[in-house]
């Protein structure tokens, strides 16, 4: 079976020789090609080349099209990204500097015509040609309720989200949801079939359950309304969300859940059961200091909890650059060893 077939089997509960094994290395490409981060991210061909090289070397199942989260801000007017060769690119120019800017803030009529979209499209076309028929292609999309954080800063967004003015908050959310609908449709058209729906505000770790039910959930429903939830993975930026799993099934119909390392994986598997896919996630921040043996032991623990009864995937969060390569190799090797089903 191909990796894509194994993923589909895990999602549906069909027989397969092993569980799907994901490894997320979106920030490692510049090092892989031996070039500065700013140069690396300037061309989709570079990103695709690095992702394909790492896929061949490590042998995991998925491949990433993500450049960096700030790319979404660039599509909406951000003029400066801060690149670092030992870290993640960050937004250095907020599009929204004060509340008056929200009324003037416009979503492009067609984001695929924006120059910042071209590297994404170029990368996706290469990945689709090379492995689209055999491997899951992952893309990252920020939920409307979280996108304002990279447009105006988390502190200002939290204040607006919680304290208002609520008419201005909802105007910004509507515009962000319009952007989301464009972006997810464009990524699907390019061949992305695993869509990581990043919604930290969908976790009770960030806001209350009542706020999730009455504020966040309706906007997420709007985000997903045009194209549905096929291929969408519920992801809260590594924050736990076991308490809202049933709500996500009922209101959003999302079947794949990226479970936080801070959550009880056994509880999550029980809640999801055979309704969808439980993605058991190793704490890759701790992997910075673990030995290869400690990494293998944690992989074994997670998989032994999750794989019984199927409907399970093993993966990581967003692998820090500081994690030793020996630990990445140990993680992937152990996942293949302990993830066998036959």
**Looking at the predicted structure, is the pLDDT value of residue 226 above 90?**
yes
pLDDT tens column, 16-26: 999 999 999 99
Section 174-202 average pLDDT: 98
Q: How confident is the model at residue 86 (pLDDT cuts 50, 70, 90)?
A: confident
Q: For the chain, how long is the longest CA-to-CA vector?
A: 60
Comparing CA positions, the residue from 52, 49, 54 lying closest to residue 39 is: 49
Q: What is the reported pTM?
A: 0.97
| Residue 281, beta-bridge partner list | 315
Section 250-257 average pLDDT: 98
Residue recorded with tokens 């990433």: 64
Is the four-CA dihedral 180, 185, 188, 193 of positive or negative sign? positive
The predicted structure's pLDDT at residue 87: 86
Section 89-113 average pLDDT: 97
The predicted structure's pLDDT at residue 279: 98
pLDDT tens column, 290-335: 999 999 999 999 999 999 999 999 999 999 999 999 999 999 999 9
**Looking at the predicted structure, is the pLDDT value of residue 342 above 90?**
no
- DSSP string across 20-83: -B----TT-HHHHHTS-HHHHTT-HHHHHHHHHHHHHHH--S-EE----THHHHHHTT---EE-
The number of residues making up the chain comes to: 342
């Amino acid at each position: 079976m191909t990796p894509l077939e194994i993923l589909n089997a895990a999602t549906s509960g069909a027989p397969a020789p092993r569980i799907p094994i994901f490894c997320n290395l979106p920030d490692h490409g510049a090092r892989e090609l031996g070039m500065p981060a700013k140069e690396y991210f300037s061309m989709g061909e570079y990103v695709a080349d690095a992702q394909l090289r790492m896929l061949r070397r490590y042998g995991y199942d998925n491949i990433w099209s993500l450049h960096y989260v700030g790319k979404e801000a660039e599509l909406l007017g951000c003029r400066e990204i801060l690149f670092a060769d030992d870290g993640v690119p960050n937004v250095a120019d907020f599009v929204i500097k004060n509340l008056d800017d929200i009324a003037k803030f416009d979503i492009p009529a067609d984001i695929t015509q924006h120059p910042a979209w071209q590297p994404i499209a170029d990368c996706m076309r290469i990945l689709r040609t090379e492995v689209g028929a055999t491997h899951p292609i992952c893309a990252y999309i920020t939920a409307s309720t979280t996108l304002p954080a990279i447009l105006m800063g988390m502190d200002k967004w939290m204040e607006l989200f919680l304290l208002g003015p609520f008419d201005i908050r909802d105007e910004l959310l509507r515009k962000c949801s319009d952007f989301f609908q464009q972006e997810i449709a464009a990524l699907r058209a390019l061949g992305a079939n695993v869509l990581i729906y990043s919604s930290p505000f969908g976790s009770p770790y960030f806001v209350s359950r009542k706020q999730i039910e009455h504020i966040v959930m309706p906007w997420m429903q709007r985000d997903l309304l045009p194209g549905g939830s096929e291929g969408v993975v519920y992801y809260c930026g590594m924050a736990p969300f076991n308490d809202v799993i049933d709500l996500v099934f009922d209101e959003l119909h999302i079947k794949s859940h990226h479970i936080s390392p801070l959550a009880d994986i056994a509880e999550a598997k029980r809640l999801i059961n055979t309704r969808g896919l439980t993605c058991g996630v190793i704490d890759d921040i701790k992997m910075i200091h673990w030995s290869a043996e400690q990494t293998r032991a944690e992989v074994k623990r997670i998989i032994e909890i999750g794989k019984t009864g199927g409907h399970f995937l093993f993966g990581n969060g967003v692998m820090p650059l500081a994690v030793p390569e020996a630990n990445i190799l140990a993680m992937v090797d152990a996942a293949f060893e302990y993830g066998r089903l036959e």
